[in-house]
Structure 1
């Protein structure tokens, strides 16, 4: 049963990492290349859509890692799982304190009501997001290593 939990957790966390990596290095580059206000409208839509899904995914990932850490406490790799859990906690804290406030503002913006500094705010969000991606990639790598 622990083997199934480990595999399921790695898949769930890995998919989350893939989505966040894609946002950072693919989707946002595509949106930046769109003409006129299309990129900003796409970011607002993405903020609404992913803003609804990702919190559940982060918390579910963290919960799965916590269950794995408890269930596998006396198994090899437990320290890696606990460290990965700590990194996921850090990613949630970063999200709540740094990224969500910007996202909450950005998802309501239209070309008519966006603030003058909207691009600077999006650039700040992207910088924080890249750091968060690095954190969750590290967590994922630790979970994968714990399986080995």
Structure 2
């Protein structure tokens, strides 16, 4: 099972990388577009990533927990990483997904008047979630290196 911590770090690291790029590359580019294009881009991104990310988050959580089971010397670090990933899932389901579920249906004709505020709220919550998953990734990487 020596491969398991490596897989956990790679899978979780790739997820963190995608979420970093959403926060610091994709959304700033999208936000610079004209309003109609911004609405359509965010809706498309929400649909596309909304299909993949639940599996990625849950998979990363399970891999971190499995790492805790196979790496007894680093179990506390890996369990903490798994716990942080659980926190990220709870944040996602309770706060980010409801906004995303609305936004992915928007068109320039159907977006609500407060769509900018809702997008900003999602971005702010995403940064909180990002901090949580970065911390989990760092702990998981340290646990896997032991």
What is the TM-score when the length of structure 1 is the normalising length?
A: 0.95
Q: Which residue of 2 aligns with 1:23?
A: 22
Displacement over 6 Å in runs of 4+: none
Query: 1:51-105: CA deviations, max 9, x gaps?
Result: 0100010011111111121222xx2211100000000000000000000000000
Is residue 132 from structure 1 mapped to residue 129 from structure 2 by the alignment? Answer: yes
Q: Which residue of 2 aligns with 1:88?
A: 85
Task: Name the CA distance, whole Å, in 1 between partners of 2:8 and 2:80.
Answer: 15
Q: Which residue of 2 aligns with 1:115?
A: 112
Task: Name the CA distance, whole Å, in 1 between partners of 2:143 and 2:66.
Answer: 14
Structure 2 matches for 1:1-148, cutoff 5 A? Answer: 1=1, 3-72=2-71, 75-148=72-145
Q: Does 5-14 or 32-41 show the bigger shift?
A: 32-41
Give 1:40 deviation, angstroms. Answer: 1.3
User: Which runs of 5 or more structure 2 residues have no equivalent in the other structure?
Assistant: none
Question: What is the count of residue pairs matched by the alignment?
Answer: 145
Task: Name the CA distance, whole Å, in 1 between partners of 2:119 and 2:135.
Answer: 24
Task: Name the CA distance, whole Å, in 2 between partners of 1:137 and 1:89.
Answer: 13
Task: Name the CA distance, whole Å, in 1 between partners of 2:137 and 2:58.
Answer: 15
